[in-house]
Amino acid sequence: MLKKIFKLLLKLLFIFILILTIFFVSINIFIKPSNNRNWNDDQKVLSTGTVKGNKVEIKNIRDFRYASTTSYMDHYYNKEYDLNKIKRVWYIVEPFSGIPGSAHTFLSFEFEDNVFVSVSVEIRKEKGESFHPVKGLLNQYEIMYVWADEKDVVDLRINHRKDQVFMYPMKAGSEKTKELFLSIINRTDKLSTQPEFYNTLFNTCTTNIVKHVNLISPKTIPTIDTSILFPENSDLLAYKLGLIDTDLPIDKIRNKFNINKKGEMYKNDPNFSIKIRE
């Protein structure tokens, strides 16, 4: 009797896996990513990057000024960056309330003369669309690399979304930081002509950062880790891997590198990026 039940369960499991496989294969065959949709106003414009020797020109750097999360003055600019002046990369974590373990992560690059630029890997939402992790498994969102003025992406999260934000200086020499910057520029350019779907498990903000880091320093970060899938604790993983530039014990780092008070205090300061690091 038990053998018959076991065989029946195996058959049902096989049928379930077969149906699931057919479903996902069908999605990939019949639904194609596109850069031409009715996008949200804040995600209409794609950034691009052009490498000319030691100089990189980034076009369409987002520089919005926010009255709220839905009300803003839109502005973009183009800027050329000298790779010989790159100094440091910062890892930023924005935990979300509501879903334990969830967070958004992004990077900010620091150059000499107090020049900063951020890059955030995000779903590209259509008008009226909102994020759901299940839809993120079903090819319902394209992915985009948002290059932005640091004031834009940090001020939005601290003063309008009211989220906690942690900014960590990373241990990486200027050459590795340069390689990381160029790797992200190349992927930004590729996505501008070859769109891809976001995937809740395999193509997210954090998995893309991991891929870029591991591309320049193979096997630096494990690709299969709960802190990558649920990146609220990805900062603790980075600490344990020796990637954060600090001598503090692990229980002190979040208090040290939380920038909310400074982000609120200096939200109108023209030296915002310098002040939040003081």
pLDDT in the model for residue 31: 84
CA 69 vs. chain centroid, Å, equals: 18
pLDDT in the model for residue 14: 60
For the chain (length 278 residues), average pLDDT per consecutive 10? 64 61 58 95 96 97 96 97 98 91 97 98 96 91 98 98 97 96 98 96 97 94 93 97 96 97 97 96
pLDDT in the model for residue 21: 54
pLDDT in the model for residue 19: 57
pLDDT in the model for residue 98: 76
Q: Which residues pair with 22 in a beta bridge?
A: none
Exposed/middle/buried for residue 183 (C-beta within 10 Å: 0-12, 13-18, 19+): middle
The pTM assigned to this predicted structure is 0.90
pLDDT in the model for residue 29: 66
Q: How many CA atoms lie within 13 A of 35 on its CB side?
A: 13
pLDDT in the model for residue 186: 97
Contact yes or no for 256/246 (Cβ under 8 A): yes
Helix 205-216 / helix 174-193 crossing angle, nearest 10 deg: 130
